[in-house]
Amino acid sequence: MTDTPIRLLVADDHPVVRAGLRAVLETEPGLVVVAEAATAEDAVARAAAGDIDVVLMDLQFGRGMGGAEATAQITARPGAPRVLIVTTYDSDADTLPAIEAGATGYLLKDAPPEDLAAAVRTAAAGRTTLAPAVADRLMNRLRDPGTALTRRETEVLALVAAGLSNQAIGRQLHLTEGTVKSHLARIYAKLGVDSRTAAVATATDLGLIRR
């Protein structure tokens, strides 16, 4: 086992959360928090400095870039640090974009401190750690892909849940209104529902979109 510490960047827009993560991680041997970032943009810039092994990344940063986009930018560079998502959100609408963006692991903020430390070490070694709820849903998607919503369908349904019309959804996602309707038809069929309200309720119950 090497004596070289695992160097961490904590990226979260809440100072109390950053301080809490730092306090937990720095009690662990071999882990050192070398930097913090309050925005996703700052996280991308700081991760590029070359002295970070693992980035602990939140998904929601208020205004500006989100955690999934930051993850994609960080992991696209040669020799990039690993990214471990640490968030409160476990819906497919959150987990799928982050994992597709290149996150090595995905943990929820209510995880025990020992699980967080273990996930950091696992990420530093290039292996994956997933929160149990996230792992269960990914396994279910693999077992029964015909009923799983695609990333685009999840995006459409999340916007329906936010109260947007088909026309507004089309504008936001750069789709025609007809394409939005086609996505909704497939969503209804997969979820076994016949209305927007029922689709949102069912998808929320299943953890496909955020509560």
* Pair (43, 96) in one structural domain: yes
Q: How far is residue 211's CA from residue 199's CA, in Å, rounded to a whole number?
A: 13
Per-residue tokens: 118 = 């273990």
Q: Smallest Cα–Cα separation from 58: which of 15, 9, 12?
A: 12
For range 157-169, the mean pLDDT: 94
Q: At residue 2, does pLDDT exceed 60?
A: no
- Range of weakest confidence among 2-16, 27-41, 141-155, 194-208: 141-155
* Pair (38, 119) in one structural domain: yes
> pLDDT at position 13, please?
95
* Pair (113, 176) in one structural domain: no
29, 114 Cβ separation under 8 angstroms: no
Q: How far is residue 50's CA from residue 28's CA, in Å, rounded to a whole number?
A: 22
> pLDDT at position 138, please?
83
Per-residue tokens: 133 = 């709820």
Cα four-point dihedral sign 61, 92, 170, 188: negative
Q: How far is residue 116's CA from residue 17's CA, in Å, rounded to a whole number?
A: 14
* Pair (115, 70) in one structural domain: yes
Residue 52 falls inside a structural domain: yes
Q: At residue 5, does pLDDT exceed 90?
A: yes
Q: How far is residue 160's CA from residue 150's CA, in Å, rounded to a whole number?
A: 15
Q: At residue 84, does pLDDT exceed 80?
A: yes
Residue 42 falls inside a structural domain: yes
> pLDDT at position 1, please?
45
**Domain residue limits at 160:** 145-205
Q: Smallest Cα–Cα separation from 165: which of 152, 184, 148, 151?
A: 184
> pLDDT at position 62, please?
82
Per-residue tokens: 211 = 């509560």
Q: At residue 117, does pLDDT exceed 60?
A: yes
For range 64-73, the mean pLDDT: 94
Q: How far is residue 42's CA from residue 45's CA, in Å, rounded to a whole number?
A: 5
> pLDDT at position 140, please?
78
Residue 210 falls inside a structural domain: no
For range 71-79, the mean pLDDT: 94
- Range of weakest confidence among 71-85, 106-120, 133-147: 133-147
**Count of the separate structural domains present in the chain:** 2
Among residues 111, 139, 167, which one ends one of the domains?
A: 139
Per-residue tokens: 179 = 């394409």
Q: At residue 90, does pLDDT exceed 50?
A: yes
